[in-house]
Amino acid sequence: MPDDKGAARRKKRSASGAAPPAANAPEPAIAALLDENRLYPPSPEFAKSAQVRDDALYREADADLEAFWASRAAELDWFVKWHKVLDWNVPDAKWFVGGKLNVAYNCVDRHIRGARRNKAAILWVGEPGDRRTLTYWDLYREVNRFANGLKKLGVKKGDRVAVYMPMVPELAIAMLACARIGAVHSVVFGGFSAESLRDRILDSEAKVLITADGGYRRGTILPLKHDADEAVKQCPLIEHVVVFKRGDFQVHMKEGRDHWWHRIVDGQSDDCWPEPMDSEDLLFTLYTSGTTGKPKGIVHTTGGYLTGTTATTKWVFDLREEDVYFCTADCGWITGHSYIVYGPLANGATTVMYEGAPDWPDKDRFWQIVEELGVTIFYTAPTAIRAFMKWGPEWPAKHRLTSLRLLGSVGEPINPEAWMWYHKHIGAETCPIVDTWWQTETGMILIAPLPGVTVARPGSATRPLPGIVADVVDEKGETVDVGGGYLVLRKPWPAMLRGIWGDPERFRQNYWSRFPGVYFTGDGAKRDKDGYFWLLGRVDDVMNVAGHRLSTMEVESALVDHPSVAEAAVVGRAHELKGTAIVAFVTIREGREHAAAILDDLKEHVVQKIGKIAKPDEIILTADLPKTRSGKIMRRLLRDIAEGKAVGDTTTLADPGVIARLKTKYEDQES
């Protein structure tokens, strides 16, 4: 009785109450969200002393968008002022044309002249419990010495430098050192596999790789240098590998190619002239998943990026001089770039970096850090919040969290239950929560509350920030004033991506072709009668798994790479904790014997190809996949099966019988 099982599963999922709306959320999910009537205005005390206290910024931006952003840019230190604020030729934007500045100078040098010289810039906590504090003065010296070291290795302005490191201060130092000398960093998340690293190095044509002997994660060692060696074997352009010694891990150092970090900086001067960069010179590339199997290198430039991240850090997190700001992301993602390193440091803030897992050695690790460092602002992902909920309120209750005054969320829609839990158990019902919507491509937060002004609603990222013109449109690109549709951005913004590395056509196609002249985010959204935006997840083949972007195609390519696999189709299914779980439907090659261990084998193969984050939650072996007469796999139907829903229209299928067979198979395998 397959249908009964499906119904039971549906019930189980909705009873958990924690699953966020899935991609392509059906109407009931939207309706449930919009029934969300709880309102959380800023408290009078918070509003009174907030960085932004009224809607003047919105009005200023509405009156003159370019002048508005120029005022924000003027808060940075420029070597040469721009002569034109914006040069906009869809889809190519140039911000602050002719201006010259240096990002490292803005993040470090300008703070060492005054009272911030001995202020903590980075408070670092290693997973085993070791701690380091780098003041702005320390950071200045470390960045300069490493920048000089890179120069000595021959790194010049415009060269690409790949970075594959654990969350140690040297990761931020490496990024800033590149920025200082005008090299373009491309940070690759330490959890990615050797093959993923290799692909990114090859695509960016990096000539130097910065890594570490290893890093700690959940008590085990991440074998970074080992994986880097594997990757570099197939990267002929890599001339040097710099290795930071994080632990006492056994690694092989290749004579002439590999250099210990401490040797590179030894004897280097504490001063290194910051390269005056053109506002539109490249700052970094960062790879993210799109709808195809090949990740794309998102390109960010200098002046606009720093203007956008600096201003939004101040507004959205209400950043003040005395704050201790803790963002739990990894610098391998855009959140780490914009809101651990560049935004906070440009504001002269104290930013916390933590190396390890949230549940190591125990499930109160974050709360222990909050207590020990007196964290005031805490920024994490809904997937983490749902894990905290599962672990129970007793873990945060063990700690004094009274230093906290503001909480943030990023990466996926935050379901109202998680919002309420965060508010109650972490925020003591007093901290405002900022739900921040943005993307690797946007570089900066675009939709979020201003915590001293906006009335928050659990589950809504509220309204576009000042200077951001977002819209919800229908299939034809026409504005939907109230209701659901596609989220687009109608006007350029300073930190927007400037392209996809080496692929201008894909840039146009991906973002600018669906609705000509406007940027398509790939997200669905609903706008309510008060103008609040409710994000509904991806409308394309990109999955958001535990806050990380992966394309279904990427996982499919990894699966079909296995010698036993003939065909694979991957879909996302709502998951209580991770937001989305990966479900793969796989056809095994004829004549291939498949042992019982094949499922584990296939999962491991994906881990090898991409990394742990892409490991499928479930693999269903099937003799055939639902296809149209022209041979296209209908993933929509597979998603229905994986979600335990009534299967949609099957009339275009070449063999409608395949669905019934698959459903039975799926439900048998699940039970």
CB 594 within 8 A of CB 619: no
Asked if 334 interacts with ligand PRX (CB under 6 A), we say yes
Min dist CB 410 to ligand PRX, Å, is 5
Interaction residues for ligand PRX, span 138-197 (CB under 6 A): none
Min dist CB 394 to ligand PRX, Å, is 28
The piece of 150-158, 163-171, 537-545, 582-590 that touches ligand PRX (CB under 6 A) is 537-545
Question: Could you give the count of Cα atoms lying within 13 Å of 414 in the half-sphere of its Cβ?
Answer: 35
Task: Give the residue with the Cβ less far from ligand PRX, 209 or 535.
Answer: 535
Q: How many CB atoms lie within 10 A of CB 402?
A: 11
The three-class DSSP label of residue 575 is strand
Task: Give the residue with the Cβ less far from ligand PRX, 544 or 557.
Answer: 544
Asked if 288 interacts with ligand PRX (CB under 6 A), we say yes
The piece of 469-477, 499-507, 520-528, 647-655 that touches ligand PRX (CB under 6 A) is 520-528
Task: Give the residue with the Cβ less far from ligand PRX, 356 or 524.
Answer: 524
Residues 6+ apart with CB under 8 A from 593: none
The piece of 254-262, 350-358, 476-484, 519-527 that touches ligand PRX (CB under 6 A) is 519-527
Interface residue with ligand PRX, options 522, 572, 616, 644 (CB under 6 A): 522
Stretch (H or E) spanning 171: helix 169-181
Min dist CB 93 to ligand PRX, Å, is 19
Task: Give the residue with the Cβ less far from ligand PRX, 311 or 659.
Answer: 311
Min dist CB 12 to ligand PRX, Å, is 24
Min dist CB 313 to ligand PRX, Å, is 13
Min dist CB 523 to ligand PRX, Å, is 5
φ/ψ of residue 278, rounded to 5: -65, 145
Here the tokens at position 345 are: 């440091």
CB 371 within 8 A of CB 400: yes
Interface residue with ligand PRX, options 307, 544, 580, 622 (CB under 6 A): 544
Here the tokens at position 632 are: 């296209």
Min dist CB 412 to ligand PRX, Å, is 5
The piece of 211-219, 361-369, 433-441, 573-581 that touches ligand PRX (CB under 6 A) is 433-441
Asked if 136 interacts with ligand PRX (CB under 6 A), we say no
Min dist CB 536 to ligand PRX, Å, is 8
Residue for token pair 């919040």 = 385
Here the tokens at position 600 are: 């584990």
Min dist CB 469 to ligand PRX, Å, is 17
Asked if 440 interacts with ligand PRX (CB under 6 A), we say yes
Task: Give the residue with the Cβ less far from ligand PRX, 307 or 622.
Answer: 307
HEC string for 600-642: HHHHHHHHHHCEHHHCCCEEEECCCCCEECCCCECHHHHHHHH
Interface residue with ligand PRX, options 312, 521, 580, 622 (CB under 6 A): 521
Asked if 211 interacts with ligand PRX (CB under 6 A), we say no
Interaction residues for ligand PRX, span 484-513 (CB under 6 A): none
Task: Give the residue with the Cβ less far from ligand PRX, 371 or 412.
Answer: 412
Interface residue with ligand PRX, options 214, 308, 411, 464 (CB under 6 A): 411
- CA distances from residue 117 to 137, 138, 141, 615 in whole angstroms, order as listed: 5, 9, 12, 45
CB 302 within 8 A of CB 276: no
- CA distances from residue 375 to 146, 321, 402 in whole angstroms, order as listed: 29, 13, 9
Here the tokens at position 577 are: 């904790």
The piece of 247-255, 311-319, 521-529, 593-601 that touches ligand PRX (CB under 6 A) is 521-529
Min dist CB 596 to ligand PRX, Å, is 36
**Crossing angle for the helix pair 65-73 and 56-63, nearest 10 degrees?**
120
Asked if 278 interacts with ligand PRX (CB under 6 A), we say no
Buried b (16+ CB within 10 A) or exposed e, 590-611: eeeeeeeebbeebbebbbebbb
The piece of 92-100, 275-283, 536-544, 550-558 that touches ligand PRX (CB under 6 A) is 536-544
Q: How many CB atoms lie within 10 A of CB 531?
A: 11
Strands 519-527 and 533-538: antiparallel
Min dist CB 427 to ligand PRX, Å, is 17
Residue for token pair 């139907």 = 637
Task: Give the residue with the Cβ less far from ligand PRX, 65 or 535.
Answer: 535
Task: Give the residue with the Cβ less far from ligand PRX, 467 or 537.
Answer: 537
Asked if 461 interacts with ligand PRX (CB under 6 A), we say yes
Q: How many CB atoms lie within 10 A of CB 54?
A: 12
The one-character DSSP state at 437 is: B
Task: Give the residue with the Cβ less far from ligand PRX, 2 or 191.
Answer: 191
The one-character DSSP state at 465 is: P
Min dist CB 549 to ligand PRX, Å, is 4
Maximum distance among all Cα pairs of the chain, rounded to whole angstroms:
74
Asked if 526 interacts with ligand PRX (CB under 6 A), we say no
Asked if 435 interacts with ligand PRX (CB under 6 A), we say yes
Single out the residue of 512, 487, 516 nearest to residue 499, CA to CA.
Answer: 512
Interface residue with ligand PRX, options 410, 450, 470, 555 (CB under 6 A): 410
Buried b (16+ CB within 10 A) or exposed e, 342-370: bbbbbbbbbbbbbbbbbebeebbbbbbbb
Asked if 535 interacts with ligand PRX (CB under 6 A), we say yes
Strands 120-125 and 240-244: unpaired
Asked if 538 interacts with ligand PRX (CB under 6 A), we say yes
Stretch (H or E) spanning 542: strand 542-545
Interface residue with ligand PRX, options 102, 302, 312, 335 (CB under 6 A): 335
The piece of 95-103, 306-314, 354-362, 409-417 that touches ligand PRX (CB under 6 A) is 409-417
# binding residues, ligand PRX (CB under 6 A): 22
Min dist CB 525 to ligand PRX, Å, is 9
Residues in the chain: 671
Min dist CB 614 to ligand PRX, Å, is 14
Q: How many CB atoms lie within 10 A of CB 262?
A: 11
Q: How many CB atoms lie within 10 A of CB 196?
A: 25
Residues 6+ apart with CB under 8 A from 27: none
Interface residue with ligand PRX, options 102, 106, 376, 439 (CB under 6 A): 439
Single out the residue of 579, 296, 561 nearest to residue 410, CA to CA.
Answer: 579
Min dist CB 524 to ligand PRX, Å, is 9
- Exposed/middle/buried for residue 14 (C-beta within 10 Å: 0-12, 13-18, 19+): middle
Min dist CB 603 to ligand PRX, Å, is 23
The CA distance from 222 to 166, in Å, is: 8
Give the binding site for ligand PRX (CB under 6 A): 288, 334-335, 410-413, 435-440, 461, 521-523, 535, 537-538, 544, 549
